[in-house]
């Protein structure tokens, strides 16, 4: 039975990464970043930060296992900042004991309270929504609730990746936080009954299968559709065959998740780490997140990328992300209980 867990990064990757970061003294003008974001997506941000501040950014990038690495390194860890791609990664890092509170009035003023840890260990620096990729030809409605995904009218018409994936876990945890485990279980059984096929692939593949007629709606993150439409000619037809619908909870808003930032517990360059964290919440970085990564900025007043804005106005659900994190394990258990991925 699949359980909620983190898969350790490969030894080869970590050995390679070790050569890119060195433990530095607190005043040498460097900051060491461990990141789950692909380097190519965030390197422009780091280059701009260095240009603005003179602080060099050393980067380790991996798809998993960074919390375990930081824990194993202990007080000798060179990590100053950890960048994540989901509240799940954020929660795992805090649980591993490898973070410390970020004390920054500037950050607190910019990032809304629902996107910050009540204890100060993390803050969101950009947002993505979990949305519907709907067939332009076969889906006539332009509004869908998350609750409606369990409606029998969608029987055999939904495509989705694994229910244990962190993106779906976040959505399922939000549902659990709102309605409790009993209703979340009932809902998950309803969604499972409506699946067109066994959960598989990723968000892009959900759009692919909608385009191929295997299902009418797919579940995906907002930025994947924009990337397919604007940055990937091979997959552009998948986006062209679908439309993005911003679903909402009944009486609530659209579920969003975070790209987050955490301050390492033993950060050797703490001052520079805080400087980077505050810079990432600044207007320049927030605009870069919006235009280069197709994410929603957390800072008010920053323009949303036109492609993302074309989905319609985002009414983000007000549920604090800390409550989503608190229900992750329960949601994962329910996925196994209903045999969602079977």
pLDDT 10s digits, 208-228: 999 999 999 999 999 999 999
Given a cut of 60, whether residue 266 has pLDDT beyond it is yes
Q: Count CB-CB contacts under 10 A for residue 317.
A: 19
Coil/strand/helix, residue 340: coil
DSSP 154: G
**Which class for 74: exposed (0-12), middle (13-18), buried (19 or more C-beta within 10 A)?**
exposed
Given a cut of 90, whether residue 312 has pLDDT beyond it is yes
pLDDT-above-90 percentage for the chain: 88
Given a cut of 80, whether residue 120 has pLDDT beyond it is yes
> What mean pLDDT, rounded, does the chain reach?
91
pLDDT of residue 14: 40
Given a cut of 80, whether residue 201 has pLDDT beyond it is yes
- Summarize pLDDT for 323-342 with one digit per residue, the tens: 999 999 999 999 999 999 99
63 pLDDT band, cuts 50/70/90, is confident
Report the distance separating Cα 169 and Cα 173, nearest Å: 6
pLDDT of residue 50: 96
- Contacts of residue 19, defined as CB under 8 A and 6 or more positions apart, other chains included, come to none
DSSP H helices in the chain: 11-18, 39-53, 66-73, 87-95, 105-110, 166-179, 181-193, 203-211, 222-231, 236-240, 270-280, 283-292, 306-309, 321-326, 328-337
Report the distance separating Cα 138 and Cα 217, nearest Å: 9
> Within the chain, how many helices (H) and strands (E) appear?
15, 10
Cβ-contact 53, 64 below 8 angstroms: no
Given a cut of 90, whether residue 4 has pLDDT beyond it is no
Cβ-contact 324, 174 below 8 angstroms: yes
pLDDT of residue 26: 41
Given a cut of 50, whether residue 2 has pLDDT beyond it is no
pLDDT of residue 20: 46
Cβ-contact 261, 280 below 8 angstroms: yes
To which residue do tokens 């876990």 refer? 169
**Domains of the chain listed by start with CATH number:** 11-126+257-302 (3.40.190.10), 128-254+323-337 (3.40.190.10)
First vs last Cα of the chain: how many Å apart?
10
Coil/strand/helix, residue 165: coil
pLDDT of residue 137: 96
Cβ-contact 6, 65 below 8 angstroms: yes
pLDDT of residue 279: 98
pLDDT of residue 15: 37
At 296, give phi and psi (nearest 5°): -85, 130
Given a cut of 80, whether residue 6 has pLDDT beyond it is no
pLDDT of residue 57: 96
pLDDT of residue 41: 82
Given a cut of 80, whether residue 45 has pLDDT beyond it is yes
25 pLDDT band, cuts 50/70/90, is very low
- Rounded average pLDDT over 20-25: 44
40 pLDDT band, cuts 50/70/90, is confident
Given a cut of 60, whether residue 185 has pLDDT beyond it is yes
- Rounded average pLDDT over 76-82: 97
Given a cut of 60, whether residue 267 has pLDDT beyond it is yes
Coil/strand/helix, residue 3: coil
Question: What stretch of H or E contains 130?
Answer: strand 122-135
pLDDT-above-70 percentage for the chain: 92
For residue 33, give the nearest of 124, 41, 22 by alpha carbon.
Answer: 22
37 pLDDT band, cuts 50/70/90, is confident
What does the block give as tokens for 274?
């805080």
38 pLDDT band, cuts 50/70/90, is confident
- Summarize pLDDT for 93-119 with one digit per residue, the tens: 999 999 999 999 999 999 999 999 999
């Amino acid at each position: 039975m699949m359980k909620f867990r983190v898969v350790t990064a490969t030894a080869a990757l970590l050995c390679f990464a070790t050569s890119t970061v060195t433990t530095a003294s607190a005043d040498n003008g460097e900051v060491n970043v461990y990141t789950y974001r692909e380097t190519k997506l965030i390197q422009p941000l780091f280059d701009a930060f260095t240009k603005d501040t003179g602080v060099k950014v050393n980067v380790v990038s991996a798809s998993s296992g960074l919390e375990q690495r930081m824990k194993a390194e202990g007080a000798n860890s060179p990590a100053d900042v950890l960048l994540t791609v989901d509240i799940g990664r954020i929660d795992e890092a805090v649980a591993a004991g490898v973070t410390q509170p970020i004390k920054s009035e500037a950050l607190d003023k910019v990032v809304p309270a629902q996107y910050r840890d009540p204890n100060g260990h993390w803050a969101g620096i950009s947002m993505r929504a979990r949305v519907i990729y709907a067939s332009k030809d076969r889906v006539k409605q332009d509004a869908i609730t998350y609750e409606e995904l369990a409606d029998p009218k969608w029987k055999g018409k939904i495509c989705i990746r694994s229910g244990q994936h962190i993106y779906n876990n976040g959505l399922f945890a939000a549902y659990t936080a709102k309605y409790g485990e009993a209703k979340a279980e009932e809902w998950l059984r309803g969604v499972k009954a409506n699946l067109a096929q066994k959960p598989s692939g990723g968000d892009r593949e959900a759009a692919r299968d909608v385009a191929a007629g295997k299902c009418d709606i797919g579940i995906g993150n907002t930025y994947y559709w924009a990337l397919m439409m604007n940055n990937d000619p091979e997959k552009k037809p998948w986006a062209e065959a679908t439309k993005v619908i911003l679903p909402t909870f009944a009486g609530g808003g659209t579920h969003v998740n975070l790209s987050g930032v955490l301050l390492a517990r033993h950060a050797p360059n703490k001052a520079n780490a805080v400087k980077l964290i505050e810079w990432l919440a600044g207007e320049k970085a927030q605009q870069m997140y919006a235009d280069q990564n197709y994410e929603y900025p957390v800072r008010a007043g920053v323009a949303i990328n036109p492609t993302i804005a074309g989905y319609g106005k985002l009414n983000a659900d007000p549920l604090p992300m800390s409550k989503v994190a608190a229900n992750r394990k329960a949601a994962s258990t329910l996925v196994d209980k209903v045999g969602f991925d079977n």
